[in-house]
Structure 1
Amino acid sequence: MMKKHRKPLTAAIVFLLTAGLLLSACTRSEESGGPAAGSSDKGGTQAEAGEQIKLRLTLWGAPNEIAVNKKVIARFEAEHPNVKVELQQIPTDYDTKLTTMVAGNDEPDVAMMESATIAFPLAEQGKFLNLQEFLDKDSEIKADTLVPNITYSSEPGNIIGIAPGPESFTLFYNEDVFKEAGLTPPPSKVSEAWTWEQFVDTAKKLTLDNKGRNADDPNFDPKNIKQYGVNPGNWWGAYSSFIFSNGGDFVSPDGKTFALNQPEAVEALQNIADLINKYHVAPSPLQAKNIPATNVALQTRKVAMVIDGQWNTSTLAESKVHFNVGVLPVMKKPATTVVCAMFSIFKSTKHPQESWELLKALIDPDASIEMLTYGTWMPSLKDWYTDDALLSKWAVNQPSRPSGYKDAVIDVVLNHSHATPTGYVKNFNKIMDIVNPAMDNVWLGKTTAKEAMDSIAAKAQAQVQGRRDVK
């Protein structure tokens, strides 16, 4: 899948980035015989007619994703016969290896980047072209033709990356479990979304101990649970949707204040913790270690519902489990967090226009139709969600797109999605390095969300550096 989670930058990576900046400053203009290639004068760097040029692309991905990207490249080369693309797949330690390349003045033309790790440190060093300038001039694609929340900006007006499509969070469930329990399944339409209380009530009825008693039964044994009502996940990607749903955020609107200790965020976090420790309908972090991946968990009935990324539709379809998707329960307003990798163009490219055309090819839904129908990816362009003919290519009559998918996923992405905090919260990883250990104690029931967030507020505040989406 395109989405990828990695550990925060290490000191070594930061050192290499700094070294790379110094080395680049010393050598780039000398090597190019003038101003840095890929400067704002894009016309002077565009390939002459008939010139044979070579672009280098770095990315990561599962084997089926790499296979699709190879087809994208072949199609691109056929349409641009004077351009050859060297695909450099980096399956492991991507950040470290790319950072070493940057430090060695060996940058690719186009690279897949992760917003939570090295993309923004590189952007702050001026490593990427501003893609807003290309969008403004392009006749085929504009900013408003893209799905919401799939562009990443270092500041308003400076887009450093565009994703090949969004990835959102939704509520997966085993249809057979609901049918056998005689319960109405989760609604797919936002207008019919469960309240949090309705969600909890249903999860209680679906949580069974080893004697078949549900969590509403006075004799229910919470120490011997064979089927949990829900696995909500306990990392920021999963719980952020509920923080946003409740009107909260990770930092204040002006970016000056740590906000996870504010009432809206605290209530959302406590609600999720209560699923574990108060209602016993969700596994604790320790118990979750014995819960398999989403597709297996639903297939084997370890859980009845799972809150997870839409990319799981591919493996769920392969598992032949009778699954469907419902809209996430609503606290105050519907919301889902969009997370996705991006493609960026390094400023050092000698061929910015051709690099832009390659980036466009990489995010073209038509070229990646196999991954769309498989279920791992979603399209980057709005009309693939609203035009019936285009929608039928990937989201209709597909095993990976069950009956609730259009309402619960597509409509929510278009109308109720929220940008990933890694994209707009500066210094996000450092803030979460402080938040995560405190939240571990909340999930374990050792403290309340308010106590935990208040206890680390001063330390977290010291790491707050602002927002990228405000001037």
Structure 2
Amino acid sequence: MKFGKRNLVLSLALTMAFSALAGCSGNSNNSGNAKNAATEAPKASEAAADKKDVSAKDVTLELLYWGDDVQKKLVEAAAEKYTADTGVKINAQVLPADGTFDTFIQTRLQSGELPDISYMGEGDIQKYNEMGILADISDLLKDGSIPEKLPAITIHSPEQKVIGVGLSNQMELLFYSKSKFDEAGVSYPPTKVEDAWDWDTFVANAKKLTKDSKGKTAADAGFDASLTENYGLGFTAGREFHHFWAANANGGGIVSPDGKEFQWDSPKSAEGIQKLADLVNKDKVASPFTYTWSTGIGSAVDALSGGYAMAISGSWDLANIKGNEDIGVGVLPKMEKAVTMNAGAPLVVYNTSKHIEEAKKFYAYMVNPENSLELLKSGAWLPNQADWYTDPALVDKWTGDLPESAKETILSYSTTKDAIVQWPAYYVPAYLKMNTEYEKSIDQALSGKKTVKEIYDSIMPVIKKLWESGKVS
């Protein structure tokens, strides 16, 4: 999920975070020794002034991110404000939200002119770590410069160095149309992890919500799937985050959180993904999709106002449902476990920076939720910090404008142990190659031509060998 609509939302969020950061520079200084204050104060003041002049003149940090022309103007204006307040110049460079971003980084690497800080696609972070160019930011967490972040968005290298944190705690959620549920006489989805529908209940309800043009539901005799005009469920995209959620929810997984156990080829993983395919081909409650971005149903708002009663989408869609009283949010159904899958592009510091300490300080500002309140309030972002889900005063800062169902769902996921599964792109070096192999064949199972087990028997030996290499390249 390196690019796409979700990343454009995050890019806009980055610009707004920049605006907030510009007004948050610190001005406190430790006082000198009282005994020598009278004689040393003038010298100290002169030294401090000289130091600030040097900082303002000599320290320039380059930030590379993706976004459009409007976002570029916002970042440039915010960078100018930050420079005025801190004396640290920010050279913010923007690129389109497409594959050219990674190409540009590669070109800069070859020329020896990497930025100080950059946005990064989830699937690329281990690649650049393997190249040895990402800074270890563990010290920022240890000394409190960055308070404890949620485990799901704290990204480690295979050596367990912290190499990045996500700017937002993105997660999969279940969006639904209240009016369609009311019409079908179906209770709204639960908002607490412990109350999640089991899979059979979920499928039964989805059948009641799936209707053909003759008025028959998928739960009725005589239902004609070829005439479906409203599906019980749609996926906003057919990509891996849905698949990996299902594998984990069914008691399987992709790779264990510590990176030591390959789980993708387990029977439970295959069964979980088979259940996704069955929603389309057996249960007839979901529209067909393939393993691409292009076959998704679009935003949750578009889907629910059209031919869908439920949509599984990311939390970034919360920004689109503001003021829409018909849309509610609940937890995903469980198979063996009630979990969700996270996502979110991380921010990184390059160890090639000539001003590594200044870069790290700026990094700490950028990942502070206090500096992204407007985005948090909109729902485009969710806090990346643990105490923003447990401290009532902090919770109140960002949840006031969210639907109550969304607030309850998000807090439940974020405060329930092991309810958020970390996307393997964050910590599996060979992830991109593994996923490429998966993509070659899985559509045959999604279309019903073969079972997931049949596909797995064919492709998993190759994918496991890639994982065993422990390498990106």
Distance in 1 between residues matched to 2:278 and 2:302, nearest whole Å: 25
Distance in 2 between residues matched to 1:327 and 1:71, nearest whole Å: 39
C-alpha contact (below 8 Å) 1:148/1:413 kept by paired residues:
no
Q: Deviations over 1:44-72 (max 9, x none)?
A: xxx95542211110011467766775676
What runs of 5+ residues in structure 2 fail to find an aligned partner? 5-49
1:203 and 2:210 matched: no
Distance in 1 between residues matched to 2:258 and 2:353, nearest whole Å: 35
Secondary structure in 2 aligned to 1:238? helix
What runs of 5+ residues in structure 1 fail to find an aligned partner? 7-46
CA positional deviation for 1:75: 5.8
1:214 and 2:217 matched: yes
One-letter identity of the residue aligned with 2:409: A
CA positional deviation for 1:252: 5.7
Q: How is 1:65-464 mapped onto 2 (pairs within 5 angstroms)?
A: 73=79, 76-80=82-86, 82-92=87-97, 93-117=100-124, 119-137=125-143, 139-142=144-147, 145-232=148-235, 233-251=237-255, 255=259, 258-285=262-289, 289=295, 291-300=297-306, 302-317=307-322, 320=324, 322-396=326-400, 398=401, 401-415=402-416, 416-464=419-467
One-letter identity of the residue aligned with 2:197: W
When normalised by structure 2's length, the TM-score is 0.82
Distance in 2 between residues matched to 1:88 and 1:327, nearest whole Å: 38
One-letter identity of the residue aligned with 1:209: D
C-alpha contact (below 8 Å) 1:68/1:370 kept by paired residues:
no
Aligned partner of 1:4 in structure 2 is 2
Are the structure 2 counterparts of residues 316 and 159 from structure 1 closer, same or farther at C-alpha, using a change threshold of 3 Å? same
When normalised by structure 1's length, the TM-score is 0.82
Distance in 1 between residues matched to 2:211 and 2:433, nearest whole Å: 39
Are the structure 2 counterparts of residues 334 and 61 from structure 1 closer, same or farther at C-alpha, using a change threshold of 3 Å? farther
Secondary structure in 2 aligned to 1:313? helix
Distance in 1 between residues matched to 2:136 and 2:373, nearest whole Å: 28
C-alpha contact (below 8 Å) 1:204/1:215 kept by paired residues:
yes
Secondary structure in 2 aligned to 1:169? strand
Are the structure 2 counterparts of residues 168 and 252 from structure 1 closer, same or farther at C-alpha, using a change threshold of 3 Å? closer
Are the structure 2 counterparts of residues 63 and 190 from structure 1 closer, same or farther at C-alpha, using a change threshold of 3 Å? farther
CA positional deviation for 1:316: 2.3
Are the structure 2 counterparts of residues 330 and 63 from structure 1 closer, same or farther at C-alpha, using a change threshold of 3 Å? farther
C-alpha contact (below 8 Å) 1:68/1:368 kept by paired residues:
no
Give the RMSD, CA atoms, in angstroms.
2.5
Aligned partner of 1:24 in structure 2 is none
CA positional deviation for 1:327: 0.6
CA positional deviation for 1:195: 0.2
C-alpha contact (below 8 Å) 1:325/1:408 kept by paired residues:
yes
Distance in 2 between residues matched to 1:303 and 1:467, nearest whole Å: 41
C-alpha contact (below 8 Å) 1:246/1:332 kept by paired residues:
yes
Q: Deviations over 1:280-330 (max 9, x none)?
A: 000112798484432111112x11001111101111226x36111111111
Are the structure 2 counterparts of residues 325 and 70 from structure 1 closer, same or farther at C-alpha, using a change threshold of 3 Å? farther
Aligned partner of 1:23 in structure 2 is none
C-alpha contact (below 8 Å) 2:80/2:89 kept by paired residues:
no
CA positional deviation for 1:192: 1.2
Secondary structure in 1 aligned to 2:157? strand
Q: Deviations over 1:95-135 (max 9, x none)?
A: 11121111111111111111213x22221121011101232
Distance in 2 between residues matched to 1:420 and 1:436, nearest whole Å: 17
C-alpha contact (below 8 Å) 2:233/2:311 kept by paired residues:
yes
Aligned residues: 416
Distance in 2 between residues matched to 1:71 and 1:182, nearest whole Å: 52
Distance in 1 between residues matched to 2:465 and 2:64, nearest whole Å: 35
C-alpha contact (below 8 Å) 2:255/2:424 kept by paired residues:
no
Distance in 2 between residues matched to 1:219 and 1:340, nearest whole Å: 44
One-letter identity of the residue aligned with 1:421: P
C-alpha contact (below 8 Å) 1:255/1:465 kept by paired residues:
no
1:465 and 2:463 matched: no
CA positional deviation for 1:251: 3.3
Distance in 1 between residues matched to 2:3 and 2:65, nearest whole Å: 14
Are the structure 2 counterparts of residues 427 and 261 from structure 1 closer, same or farther at C-alpha, using a change threshold of 3 Å? same
Aligned partner of 2:66 in structure 1 is 60
CA positional deviation for 1:159: 1.4
Distance in 2 between residues matched to 1:166 and 1:215, nearest whole Å: 36
Distance in 2 between residues matched to 1:467 and 1:413, nearest whole Å: 30
C-alpha contact (below 8 Å) 1:168/1:309 kept by paired residues:
yes
Are the structure 2 counterparts of residues 140 and 254 from structure 1 closer, same or farther at C-alpha, using a change threshold of 3 Å? closer
Q: Deviations over 1:71-93 (max 9, x none)?
A: 7645643542x211011011242
CA positional deviation for 1:438: 2.0
Are the structure 2 counterparts of residues 361 and 290 from structure 1 closer, same or farther at C-alpha, using a change threshold of 3 Å? closer
Distance in 2 between residues matched to 1:439 and 1:163, nearest whole Å: 29
| Percentage of matched positions with identical amino acids | 31
